[in-house]
Amino acid sequence: MERIYFDNAATTSLDPAVLDAMLPFMTEKFGNPSSIYSYGRESRLGIETARKTVAKLLNAHPGEIFFTSGGTESSNTAINAAIKDLGCRHIISSPIEHHATLHTVEHLHHSEGIALSFVRIQPDGHIDMAHLRELLAQSTEKCLVTLMHANNEIGNLLDIHAVGNLCREFNAIFHSDTVQTVGHYPFDLRNTPVDFITGAGHKFHGPKGVGILYINENVKIKPFIQGGSQERNMRAGTENLYGIIGFAKALEIATAEYEAHSTHINNLRMYMAEQLKQHIPGVTFNGDLYGRSLYTVLNVAFPKTEKSEMILFNLDINGICASGGSACTSGANAGSHVIRAINENPDLVAVRFSFSKNNTKEEVDKVVEKLKELI
């Protein structure tokens, strides 16, 4: 059976050019980067070249880029450091963050007694900036603001500069989970008021198990993982050598092809939205589809019926991969905390379709045809 993969916000396929860049470091260049002989020096050079590449592409200093195992570790490191090393005693977040952030801030609130506030979410899924200002102004403690750049379920984009400037005004630390946007948008970190951002290679056709944490040069923190002196004493453990090489290569390709790929993907997304509106009565969209939103994500609200409740199961049987809200919990029956926060209507079933450079208009047509049959 032909499979159609419309769940690229969960993970993407590895680009063949990325695999080609990784292969030498999986075979003959296998040395431990901490070793002083030639094999080790070769590996160390590969890592530092990758770091410089990533820094250049994000317009950051190489000393601000740290390689990690992915977005979850990066966010955990940043949030914990803000509390333990930077004196933050009040966390301001939102109810629609990824669980890597949400569960971390809730854990710190319950285990360490850190104050925790959630900024209000507007019906279109954007955060209420006036409420954020209010929370910052009322706080008697130093704040950590942790808000994601693009929501992984509904695709809403945060105005990262507006939030960053607000944080600067109130001397707050700003962490943004940018896992859905690094590799999908150009970044200019030297001119972005942010203390920490995160990235994960597998979201833009790189390998799984590797990510980055950007730590602004003006921020000094201690390691989250204790052990050896890898990553300039910031992240202990033997480096994921070929993962790091793959991350840099994938980011290089994504940056070079941004204009063409973002246009192609956004066209597919808007085409599918129009087709669904035309052919399926009662369809609406979660989030700010026609406003400030991620070009890869389309979150569709189908009217609830016996058929639509089984939609993901039936799509899967027909070789179509999509998810109900966040892929990280799509196997659970709890539903999506993001959809609950913006739309309490129990008569709607949310399905997230997310696209990549490899998807085609023909695939969209096939999926829409199948949805007409199924619903």
* Average pLDDT value for residue range 90-117: 98
* C-alpha 255: how far from chain center: 16
Neighbours of 131 (CB within 10 A): 16
Q: Name the pLDDT band for 325 (thresholds 50, 70, 90).
A: low
| 139, 90 contact by CB (below 8 A) | yes
pLDDT in tens, 36-84: 999 999 999 999 999 999 999 999 999 999 999 999 999 999 999 999 9
pLDDT of residue 308: 87
Count of domains in the chain? 2
Q: What is the mean pLDDT of residues 117-145?
A: 97
* Co-location of 250 and 280 in the same domain: no
Is the pLDDT at 323 greater than 70? The verdict is: yes
Same-domain status, 250 and 267: no
What is the model's pLDDT at position 273? Answer: 98
- Joined together, the tokens standing for residue 242 give 């070929």
Residue 334 CB neighbours (<10 A): 8
- In terms of residue numbers, what domain contains 190? 16-256
State mean pLDDT over 334-346. 83
Q: Are 269 and 296 in contact (CB under 8 A)?
A: yes
- Residue 269 CA to residue 169 CA, distance in Å, equals 37
Same domain, 238 and 308: no
Is 328 a residue of the active site? yes
Among the candidates 236, 256, 276, a domain finishes at 256
**Under a CB-based contact definition with an 8 Å cutoff, are residues 225 and 235 in contact?**
yes
d(CA 73, CA 42): 27
d(CA 30, CA 43): 7
Segment 359-367 shows an average pLDDT of: 98
Instruction: Report the distance separating Cα 163 and Cα 145, nearest Å.
Output: 9
Which carries the bigger pLDDT value, residue 55 or residue 306? Answer: 55
Average pLDDT over residues 1-17: 96
Q: What is the pLDDT of residue 163?
A: 98
With cut-offs at 50, 70 and 90, classify the pLDDT of residue 329.
Answer: very low
Q: What is the mean pLDDT of residues 163-188?
A: 98
Q: Are residues 221 and 270 in the same domain?
A: no
Instruction: Identify the helix (H) or strand (E) that includes residue 247.
Output: helix 241-256
Q: Same domain for 368 and 325? A: yes
Mean pLDDT score, 187-207: 98
188-192, 302-306, 345-349: range with lowest mean pLDDT: 345-349
Q: What CATH number should be reported for the domain holding residue 332?
A: 3.90.1150.10
Q: Are residues 171 and 297 in the same domain?
A: no
In one letter, which amino acid is 320? Answer: I
pLDDT of residue 330: 45
Q: Do 242 and 288 sit in the same domain of this protein?
A: no
When pLDDT is cut at 50, 70 and 90, the band that residue 347 belongs to is confident
Place of tokens 């992984």: 152
Q: What is the CATH number of the domain that holds 228?
A: 3.40.640.10
- Reduced to 3 states (helix: H, G, I; strand: E, B; else coil), residue 208 is coil
Average pLDDT, the chain: 95
Span of 103-117, 253-267, 294-308 with lowest mean pLDDT:
294-308
Co-location of 252 and 280 in the same domain: no
Give the end of a domain, one of 223, 239, 256. 256
Strand partners, 116: 91
CB neighbours (10 Å) of residue 148?
A: 27
pLDDT at position 344: 73
Please give the backbone phi and psi of residue 184, each rounded to the nearest 5 degrees, phi first. Answer: -125, -15
Calpha distance 182→154 (Å, rounded): 17
CA distance 246 to 51: 11
Selected catalytic residue, list 88, 143, 321, 328: 328
228 and 366 belong to one structural domain? no
- Quickly tell me which residue has 């925790």 as its tokens: 116
The answer on 267 and 182 residing in a single domain is no
- Name the pLDDT band for 150 (thresholds 50, 70, 90): very high
Residue 32 has pLDDT above 50, yes or no: yes
Residue 211: pLDDT band (50, 70, 90) is very high
Of 256, 282, 301, the domain-final residue: 256
pTM comes to 0.96
Residues 144 and 217 in one domain: yes
CA distance 309 to 350: 9
Are 250 and 324 found together in one domain? no
Instruction: Reply yes or no on whether the pLDDT at 346 is more than 90.
Output: no
Confidence band for 334, pLDDT divided at 50, 70 and 90: low
Whole-number Cα distances in Å, 234 to 57, 164, 196, 211, 215: 22, 24, 14, 14, 11
Reported confidence tier of residue 343, pLDDT bands at 50, 70, 90: confident
